[in-house]
Structure 1
Amino acid sequence: MRNPTGRQLRFGAELRKLRERAGLTATEAGQLLGVKQAQISNMEAGRVGVSPERVRALACHYDCADQSLVQALSEMTSERSRGWWEEYRETLPNTLLDLAEMEHHATQLRAGITAHIPGLLQIHDHAREVFRQVVPELSPPDIEHRLSFRIKRQAVLFSESPTPYRAYIHEAALRMQFGGRHVTRRQLQHVINMSERSHITVRVIPFAAGAFPGSGQSILYAYGPVPPLDTVHLDQSHGSALIDAKAQLDKYRVLLDRMEGIALPPRESRELIRAIDQEL
């Protein structure tokens, strides 16, 4: 049996939350549904497919009154097929594949970045230099492999129905020269061009804004079809993590709101990016 993807694990975890809120054990839930306890455990572990009818039956047994959540979970049951990221399954960490899957299914994306240009806005040469700085060092073929994966992730911004994307980028990230002056200038121009697309908003947090909460993190907030299915991706040197606990989701929304509150408006942000470009 193939290992479940991050999204399938999340689906199973949501079923488990519904059962636990109802105060039922897996055995009791199985009895209500007419299946063995192992079947409930496999569903909650994301190891087996679940039909929309079974999701609705479980929600009924669990006295779940949130019909929007039930509908969203029912729609997730038809998504057992694997996406483009599966071709990287044996060569890249699962956390990267889970990130691509999360971005693909998000209804909108919101990022707060202080030290790097967001991955979805990076040009090839900038991203290549980022991967050259990875510890432990990557081989040239591995760098190109990760680069192709990162560029394919950007498809969510270029599809016929692109995902709405908001990014709050600190001025420090814009001034860091990955790949030298010429690459940096092309990268800055790319950010400006992308920010002019109707579904993309880029706002710069200037040095003058001073200290702000969340300044030491790289945050990507993926909105689900309903708030309980939102997910936060944190990218750190020791690896990335997906977070979906309600208290943490609430916290990261506040952090991003605070970043938005001190960031320059879109037009002024583009003017600052152009000024930085002209200084190079």
Structure 2
Amino acid sequence: MAFGDPEVTVDIVDGEDGKIIYKDESGMAQTFYPARSIWLTIDSLELLTALSESADDVPATKLITRIKGVATLEDFSVSVIGSPETKSRSLSISLEAGEWLPKEADPSSLRYAGKLGGAMLSFNRADWEAGTSDEWWISCYVAKEFIDSLVADIRGESIREMKVMLTLADLYGTSDSWAPLSLRDHLFIRPTQRDSRLNIPQVAQGYVSSLHFSSAKRDLRPVKPAEPQNDDEEVVSAQVVPANSQQVQSEALRQQIEKLRVTVKWVGGLIALMLFFIAAR
């Protein structure tokens, strides 16, 4: 079988301080280090509502709402060690109310992690019988109050952006623990720990360390009252106020009469002067 086939066993050895050493088919070794916390940006969200059986002994059903979406890693990619064709940066994500926490109560890699809820990350290979495709997935279990608030904002179409930070054991990177926190990395999960086969990768388990979303933006600043005009501005305003049409017409008529009066005065004088010369002859 070709290297990278799901049934192939890969050569992985556990090292010190949580490191693992992987040898490829050519014998070249590569060291992977426990990954730091990872950030994801949520690209889309949808609500899934269903009836579920009650956990109590009394036969009953209850309504549950889960949130499902697509998230993008802020790091370069995630893949299964020894299976480069699984590389991706996009993962499906689900969030629901629950109290699930990792099996290992407090492994060294999670000692200082924020613990807002439980989280898992892994990879499912395509199954032609079930009709499924390759899929990277994340499951988060957080407080019901947060889920209720998020559901309300999704239904109200007021959610604007959302980010999630996870701190997971069994998630590895190519940079050691001394690398800057802002450094983007290539992330990896290991094949199944029992026999290092690629068909069922290990599930990285840990905590939701940060989870926040923002709603529709609102301007909360008080409305400023209109500023009053001073006396000079009022005088200028009064000067530029146009007269009404009746005043304009009266003024024009007065000017025409004045011109006619002056014209009649001069014409009358000329006529009297002409009569005087005629009489003198």
Q: Return the TM-score normalized by structure 1.
A: 0.18
In terms of fraction of residues, the more strand-rich structure is 2
Greater helix proportion: 1
Determine which structure has more spread, i.e. the larger CA radius of gyration. 2
Q: TM-score, normalising length from structure 2? A: 0.18
